[in-house]
A and B are shown apart, each in its own frame.
Chain A
Amino acid sequence: MIIQAICFYLFAAITIASAVMVISARNPVHSVLFLILAFFNAAALFILLGAEFLGMILIVVYLGAVTVLFLFVVMMLDINVAELRQGFLQYLPIGGLIGLILLAELVLVLGSWVITPEAQAVARAPIPPIDEVSNTAALGNVLYTDYIYLFQASGIVLLVAMVGAIVLTLRSREGVRRQSIRTQNLRSREQSVEIKKVQSGSGV
């Protein structure tokens, strides 16, 4: 138990410290690198909770794909740090307000568990107890059996968002020569090579 507590405080402390560094680092690339560290430690916290599936998915999705593209974009952009600093105070009230709302919501959720223990029972538990079934299977049961329609609906929302993003950025430019793999593969020797006997001195 002691080791678990030590690990928890270690990971939690690193998560919070790197989260603070994300918004206070001077270099935007360093910010993203600290974000990676924060995600990684959050995944470790999930694993400590026994939710190893969520921890791994956090790493695969956020670190393996999202943050790579994020880092990619931040590296390509020429961000002027001094200019960004000027907006800091301007956005502070809105950011602070959002943070406060989130905090209040968390307090409400956790507080209701403490005040009325019955509320905790409402939070859906996987039907077989957690020590009989791995949490991957438990999650799958809840997600694909109990809430399948909501799951499908969120899938459609994401699909619409993806189509929208593609429509917004897709433009067909004139005068671009694209390679057509099909026509290339269908090309025969007769169409592309011609052998001619050239009389010396006369040209083709």
Chain B
Amino acid sequence: MAELWQGYIWPTIFIVLQIVAVLVPLLLAVAYTTYAERKIIGAMQLRRGPNVVGPFGLLQPIADGVKLLFKETILPAGANRVVFIAAPIITFVLSLVAWAVIPFGEGMVIADINVGILYLFAISSLGVYGIIMAGWASNSKYPFLGALRSAAQMVSYEVSMGFVIITVVVCAGSLNLSEIVEAQRTVWFAIPLLPMFVIFFVSILAETNRTPFDLPEGEAELVAGYFVEYSSMTFALFFLGEYANMLLLSGMTSILFLGGWLPVLGFAPFTWIPGPIWLALKIALVMFVFIWVRATLPRYRYDQLMRLGWKVFLPFSLFWVVLTAGVLIAFDWVPN
């Protein structure tokens, strides 16, 4: 009996507690990301943003959540029920499971696996299924067109994202996220790999279907893209999944290029601040740029989006992989 407790039950309880400790702040962060987005865009467009519910409108995300929860879920008559319901669940679950390998500080990670970066890449490449299933199951024109656009777009930009990740992995000498962060103690990868950093950031904009690449939900042509037919909680799951994905990819950017939990400078006043707070600050910075881009840029045309992905980013990132590998070999800088 004691062995059962030692071997199975305590570890299970411990893991569940770790998961809760990651997910609760994450969902709060998702809720307040929507608030931050509305406030920041409001400020950029000389409006106030939400300011009625609670002080400074701080309770607005909670009010929105409660409203969505209590609305009626509508199943379209022609929809394929099982797939229609499964699609938002898949999107939401995928956006949460990826956080299992994100290191929040030295040793502060739920699963410190050897192939962490591949796991992140795999999970983010699965995200397209939620969208494409939603578009197909709705049995309606606009969602279907939105889903097709989104699938083509995500597959295209994943290729160059893969090459960017390869460059970082070559420089760090490991697929483990904690070791990638540790490899940036001397210099953040954003500095030697600046062009790859830019490509990665633009690619994650396309990957999360954000402006200027938000064609899958282009409201002027497709009403709302793949989730036209969704209402109440099913819609909320898409919404939460999308924002959790944005936070995840911001986290990935911070870990790959901005030194993860490491402080900006490695001496006294900066090292007093604990690692998770540094990571949160960096994620917040990248999220701010996400929102800033949304408030600033117009939407891309679809053929130009494809051209940018296949004819500009792909050759350039391929070239940069070869260049980085060549430089590392030539100067004998290859990490063991």
Contacts and interface: CB of A to CB of B under 8 A. Distances in A.
Interface residues of B, number: 29
Interface in B264-317: 303-304, 307
B50 to A, nearest CB: 37
A57 interface: yes
Interface in B168-193: 175
Interface stretch (B66-74, B111-119, B325-333): B111-119
A76 B114 CA distance: 39
Contact of A136 (B115, B148, B304): B115
A68 interface: yes
Contacts of A19: none
Interface string B120-159: 0110011011001100100000001000100110110010
Contacts of A163: none
Contacts of A36: 129
Contacts of A27: 80
Interface of A: 3, 27, 29-30, 33, 36, 52-53, 56-57, 59-60, 63-65, 68-69, 71-72, 75-76, 134-136, 179, 181
Interface of B: 8, 80, 83, 113-115, 118-119, 121-122, 125-126, 128-129, 132-133, 136, 144, 148, 151-152, 154-155, 158, 162, 175, 303-304, 307
30 contacts: A3-B8, A27-B80, A29-B83, A30-B83, A33-B83, A33-B133, A36-B129, A53-B118, A53-B175, A56-B115, A57-B118, A59-B126, A60-B118, A60-B121, A63-B122, A63-B126, A64-B125, A64-B155, A65-B125, A68-B129, A68-B151, A71-B151, A72-B148, A72-B152, A75-B144, A75-B148, A76-B148, A135-B114, A136-B114, A181-B307
